[in-house]
Structure 1
Amino acid sequence: MINFIEKLPKAELHLHIEGTFEPELMFEIAKRNNIKIPYNSIEEIKEAYKFSCLQDFLDIYYQGANVLITEKDFYDLTYSYLEKCAEQNVLHTEIMFDPQTHTQRGVKFETVINGISKACKDAEKNLNVSSLLIMSYLRHLSEEDAFKTLEQSLPFKNKITAVGLDSSEKGNPPSKFIKVFEASIKEGYIPVAHAGEEGDADYVWEAIDLLGIKRIDHGNNCLQDENLVADIIERDLALTVCPLSNTALKVVEDLKDHPLKNMLKKGLKATINSDDPAYFGGQVNQNFIEIQKALDLTKEEIYELAKNSFQYSLASDAKKEAFIKQLEIYYNNNK
């Protein structure tokens, strides 16, 4: 089963590039930029990557991001992740990035986007990994601040496919961002949002009804409301589920209690993703392996999850078709 998962063609749809920051690279870039970090060794950083809730994680996540200053930093961070995609048979990835985390520190928007997008372009050529970018607004900041980010993004529209909503969910409902999502959609960005990770089913309703999202990031708590589940199925919206993230942040106490199997049984279109792999103990393959073991998923269910990842990606129809064909050939040869 592990071999089947590792060689399985797949896409990753829920990934924060700042959350792929491995301790070794963080240490290297901090040194390169002569930035003091509150850790004396890679081991100390690894020790700090242990949390009890979303806020604990965010605190260290933003601390780590502080060492990213130059275009080369963002390039190195992104290319390092894309190399891991190639190793894991991730054919396509949709990378979220948080401009505000960097612009608030005085780093220019263009520095961030140019570094990330150059790495994506090179990885497509050198590693045969397809990718696109999702610009995420930080929900703990104001809508006015999100509008500034939208403005800054406009000269680089050709490099960005979608907008998202992430950071501290509780107390920052989707309704706080109605206007900036409307404006983003007018500019041609596809809307997605984190909802139902820590927030309850109401947050998912708001994200769907008020922001008009095309995909739900996390969405665990949609299961609190049967009408919501029916609505998500009717609208054909996928959930980007992140198993190891869920246990690391205590959204789920134990993987054996994870709602993924229940989601599939109800007819929800779930996908498997790593979220912030450097912090949560595993890339996308590890997420597949651990959740398969915990829930005793069949090869057919694993195949379904991988197929969903291509089907509900934001890639072109032609690309989706080609990816799914590859997956089907692999599955039929390895049932």
Structure 2
Amino acid sequence: MIELSDRLEQFVLEIPKVELHLHIEGAIPLETLFGFIQRREDNKLIKNLEDLKKRLVYSNFAQFIKVWLWKNSFITEYEDFEELAYRVLQSLSKQNVKYVEAFYSPRDFTFRNKKLSACGITESLIKGKKKAFDDFGIRSELIVDVVRDYGPRMGMDLIKELSGYLGRG
């Protein structure tokens, strides 16, 4: 029975896959998030990956949102978004994923960090995905997530702001 299970696991790993609904900020590999946390001097509570795993535990939707916002607080520079895209796609390529449609929520970051723009975040994600394609052969497309919590006007502004990227990433 174990042999069959090992063979099945290997088979599943080797078959080509597509990922059609992924939120790129939520798919961040633990090691990448840990690196972002370590770059920020204001957080010394997370000393290793085990501490990080414990911090990411939640039991209801309200806790999930708190964890999500806490995690996002460490993605603060355009370079972080480029690395985020690259590392997520690298991780997926190791699972033999060949194509990804990745949602991203720029307003979750620009709303709290005024030095970031939706266009800058988009450009950075495009750089990361292009590098991942060059290095791993994984294809990907970005889909902007218009988070309704920010209201319809901000949603329409975001669509106008990013309309020039249609078909580019």
TMscore range, shorter length: 0.7 to 0.9
The letter of the residue matching 1:40 is I
| RMSD, aligned CA | 1.8
Residues 129 and 7 (structure 1), Cα distance of their counterparts in 2 relative to 1, 3 Å cut: same
Q: Which protein, 1 or 2, shows the higher relative CO under an 8 Å CA cutoff with sep ≥ 6?
A: 2
Q: 137, 148, 151: which one pairs with 2:157?
A: 148
* Separation in 2, partners of 1:145, 1:18: 20
Residue aligning to 1:108: 117
Structure 2 residue 39 is the aligned partner of structure 1 residue 11: no
Query: Offset at 1:71?
Result: 2.0
Q: Deviating runs (4+, > 4 A) in structure 1?
A: none
Map of 2:47 onto structure 1: 41
Match of residue 261 from structure 1: none
Would you say how many aligned residue pairs link Structure 1 and Structure 2?
Answer: 159
**Corresponding letter in the other structure for 1:4:** F
- Report the CA distance shift for 1:147/1:37 in structure 2 as closer, same or farther (over 3 A): farther
CA contact (8 A) 1:97 1:134 kept: yes
* 1:60/1:35 CA distance change after superposition, 3 Å: farther
CA contact (8 A) 2:105 2:147 kept: yes
In structure 2, which of residues 84, 87, 95 is the aligned counterpart of residue 77 of structure 1?
Answer: 84
Shift of 1:8: 1.0
Tell me the alpha carbon deviations over residues 219-276 of structure 1, each in whole angstroms, 9 at most, x when there is no partner: xxxxxxxxxxxxxxxxxxxxxxxxxxxxxxxxxxxxxxxxxxxxxxxxxxxxxxxxxx
Q: What is the alpha-carbon distance in structure 2 between the residues aligned to residue 64 and residue 2 of structure 1?
A: 31
**Structure 2 unaligned blocks of 5 or more:** 1-7
Residue equivalent to 1:135 = 144
Q: CA deviation at 1:146?
A: 1.0
| TM-score normalised to structure 2 length | 0.85
Contact preservation (8 Å) 2:58, 2:64: yes
Partner of 1:234: none
Unaligned runs of 5+ in 1: 161-335
TM norm structure 1: 0.45
In the aligned structure 1, how far is the partner of 2:161 from the partner of 2:99? Answer: 26
Once the two structures are aligned, what percentage of the paired residues are identical?
23
Separation of aligned partners in 1, 2:168 and 2:86: 16
